[in-house]
Amino acid sequence: MKAYLQKLLQNQSLTEEEMIIAARKLFSDTISDSEIASFITALKMKGETVDEMVGIVKAVREQTLPFQNSMPGCIDNCGTGGDGSQSFNVSSTSAFVMAGAGIPVAKHGNRSISSKTGSADVLETLGIKLNITPEQNEEQLESVGITFLFAQHVQPKMGRITKVRRELGIPTIFNLIGPLTNPINLDSQVLGIYRKDFTEPFAEVLKKLGRKRAVVLNGAGSMDEASLQGENELVILENGSIRKVMLHPFDVNLPVYSNEEIRGGDAKENAEILLNVLKGEKGAYRDTVLLNAGIGIYAAGRAETIAEGVQLAAESIDTGAAYRKLQQLVEKSGKLQKAGI
């Protein structure tokens, strides 16, 4: 481990295989918290490469609880966090809208680490039970069309690293690769990142990890969600090719709002925002969700254009389908957790 750390401190990148070996050590009991902190800080200072991200993702997935991955066509939508915007939980809200549009959603997330409120915090506040088995997750996905994979539950060896990350209080490679470590074999993915310089490298990572279609985006104002404030940079992976496009809200018939207008709060406040959006309340929160869910519907191949995806997202909300998915997930997760006790 010291040799790998020394290499990073000399501004040298690790190969994919070296990163797999180093990451396995991070999950072991043979190194200290300070060594973990030193390694991930040195990696951040050097700058993470595609091979390093692919390597650490593979190592994380090695120690994840086993999933059968039996349901085809699954998508995940997740941001890396770390943008400092204090926005409400856009991707969690959008996940129910995509599910309401008929797309199976395997939402992977955690409690808050570098942001104010994590997806797990909000979904738990809404009454969704988090601690269910992989088999129950898959049953939930098949019967409801959406499930939440609680990162610290499905990846139990990440506990010590999560503690170190929380103490550091800065975005690290684990913010970057968190959305990549979903234990379900996804067909498609929407991944938001606060660093514009990483949109194309992330598309390359997703390609190496086998995604058929994906959209990596950097929102206006450097958000890790698509933003209505102005132009968003999207890098689209499709059929093995990667292309970059710019997307303005006007391109999909949505208005412009500043990022300050979609600020959230604690888990209770963000849960209320999510509920209000799914129940049809108009405004900046809803329109932001329409943009992000529309991109997800497009990424899943259910719409020919993002503009069509936005229309389908609006239908998902206005017909009540998105809200019903939330109700069904609350009910099903409660039954499954009771059955597991």
**Binding residue numbers:** 79, 82-83, 87, 89-92, 107-115, 119, 165, 224-225
Binding residues for anthranilate: 79, 110, 165
Contact 104, 310 (CB under 8 A): no
Binding residues for Mg(2+): 91, 224-225
Binding residues for 5-phospho-alpha-D-ribose 1-diphosphate: 79, 82-83, 87, 89-92, 107-115, 119
